[in-house]
Chain A
Amino acid sequence: MIRRSFALASGLIALSVVVCAVAVAAAPVQLTFTVWSYSNDVIQDNIQKFQARNPGVQVALNDFAWEKFTDVMTARFVGKTSTDVSYSSDHWLQQWAAANWIVPLDDYFPQVAAYKPDFAPYAIEGMTYNGKLYGLPYYADTIIFIYNEDMLKRAGFSAPPVTWDDVTKMAVAMKQKKIVEYPLMFQFQDITPWYIEVFLSMVYSHNNPSMFDKSLAPTYDNESSAAHKVARWLVDGFRTTKIINPASLEMTEVPLVKAMGAGQVAFAVLPKYNLADLNTAGAHAQAGKFKMALMPGETHGTVGFVRFYAMTKMAADRGKEVRDGSWKFLEYFGGKTGGEFTVVKRWALEKGLGFAQLPLYKDPQIRAAINKWGNVTLEEQQSKLARAKEALTPFWGPWSLEFQKEMNKALLGQETPLQALQASAAKWKEMKR
Chain B
Amino acid sequence: MRLSPRSIPMSWKARETRYAYATVLPVVVLVALFTIYPVGYAVSTSLREVVLYRPASTPFVGLKNYLDIVRGDFFASAWGHTLTFTLFAVPLATMLGFGTAHLLRVRSRLAGFLNAAVLLPWAIPTVISGIIWAWIFNSTYGAFNGALYSLGLISSYIPWLSRPTSALFCVLFAHIWKELPLTSILYVAALQAIPDELYDAARADGAGVLATLGRITIPLVLPTTLIVVIYESMVAIVTFDLLYVMTGGGPAGGTSLISYFIYNRMFTSYNFGQGAALAVILALSLIVFILVYLRVLRSEEVYRE
Contact = CB atoms under 8 A, between A and B. Distances in A.
A247 B252 contact: no
A99 interface: yes
A408 B250 CA distance: 9
B61 to A, nearest CB: 13
Contacts of B52: 74, 78, 95, 99
28 contacts: A67-B248, A78-B52, A94-B53, A95-B53, A95-B270, A99-B53, A189-B250, A190-B248, A191-B248, A191-B250, A245-B139, A246-B162, A249-B159, A249-B161, A249-B162, A249-B251, A250-B250, A264-B140, A398-B269, A398-B270, A401-B264, A401-B268, A405-B250, A408-B251, A408-B252, A409-B252, A411-B251, A414-B252
A95 B271 CA distance: 12
B140 A259 contact: yes
Interface in A386-402: 394-395, 397-398, 401
A99 B55 contact: yes
Contacts of B248: 67, 189-192
A283 interface: no
A340 interface: no
Contacts of B181: none
A412 B253 contact: no
A401 B53 CA distance: 16
B250 A248 contact: no
Interface in A271-326: none
Contacts of B249: 190-191
Interface string A83-96: 00000000000110
A74 B270 CA distance: 8
B135 to A, nearest CB: 10
Contacts of B157: 247
A208 interface: no
A106 interface: no
Q: What 10 A-B pairs have minimum CB-CB distances, sorted nearest first?
A: A190-B250, A247-B139, A394-B53, A247-B159, A408-B252, A249-B162, A191-B248, A249-B251, A250-B161, A98-B53
Interface string A408-433: 11011010000000000000000000
Contacts of A213: none
B54 interface: yes
Contacts of B156: 181
Interface in B227-267: 244, 247-254, 263-264, 267
A36 B251 CA distance: 23
Contacts of A192: 248
Contacts of A189: 248, 250-251
Contacts of B162: 246-250
B270 A247 contact: no
Taking chain B's interface residues, is the majority helix, strand, or loop, or is none over half, making it mixed?
Answer: loop
Interface string A71-87: 10011001000000000
A250 B159 CA distance: 8
A170 B271 CA distance: 45
Interface in A58-78: 67-68, 70-71, 74-75, 78
A100 interface: yes
Q: Which of B55, B163, B249, B250 neighbours the largest number of chain A CB atoms within 10 Å of its CB? A: B250
A193 B138 CA distance: 20
Taking chain A's interface residues, is the majority helix, strand, or loop, or is none over half, making it mixed?
Answer: helix
Given A74-B270, A98-B54, A99-B270, A246 B250 contact: no
B171 interface: no
A36 to B, nearest CB: 15
Interface of B: 52-55, 138-141, 156-157, 159, 161-164, 167, 244, 247-254, 263-264, 267-271
Given A247-B140, A250-B139, A412 B163 contact: yes
Contact of B251 (A68, A75, A262, A412): A412
Q: Which of A181, A249, A262, A406 neighbours the largest number of chain B CB atoms within 10 Å of its CB? A: A249
Contacts of B164: 412
A414 B254 CA distance: 11
A262 B112 CA distance: 43
A412 B252 contact: yes
Contact of B138 (A68, A255, A408, A411): A255
A255 B252 contact: no
Contacts of B247: 190, 250
Contacts of A401: 264, 268-269
Given A71-B263, A250-B251, A406-B252, 7 more contacts: A95-B270, A190-B248, A191-B268, A246-B159, A250-B161, A401-B264, A414-B252
Interface string A366-384: 0000000000000000000
B55 A255 contact: no
Contacts of A70: 268
B270 A71 contact: no
Contacts of A246: 139, 159, 162-163
Contacts of A412: 163-164, 251-252, 254
Contact of B140 (A67, A255, A406): A255
A250 B164 CA distance: 10
Interface in A188-235: 189-192
A206 to B, nearest CB: 24
A398 B269 CA distance: 5
Contacts of B250: 189-191, 249-250, 405, 408
Interface in A230-259: 245-250, 255, 258-259
Nearest to B247: A250
B112 to A, nearest CB: 38
A255 B263 CA distance: 25
Contacts of B140: 247, 255, 258-259, 262, 264
Contacts of A250: 138-139, 159, 161-162, 167, 247, 250-251
Contact of A395 (B53, B138, B139, B254): B53
Contacts of A248: 162
A285 B179 CA distance: 40
Nearest to B160: A250
B179 to A, nearest CB: 24
B274 to A, nearest CB: 11
Nearest to A264: B140
Contacts of A255: 138, 140
A245 to B, nearest CB: 8
A264 B159 CA distance: 14
A100 B252 CA distance: 31
A70 B269 CA distance: 11
Nearest to A74: B267
Nearest to B265: A398
Contacts of B161: 247, 249-250
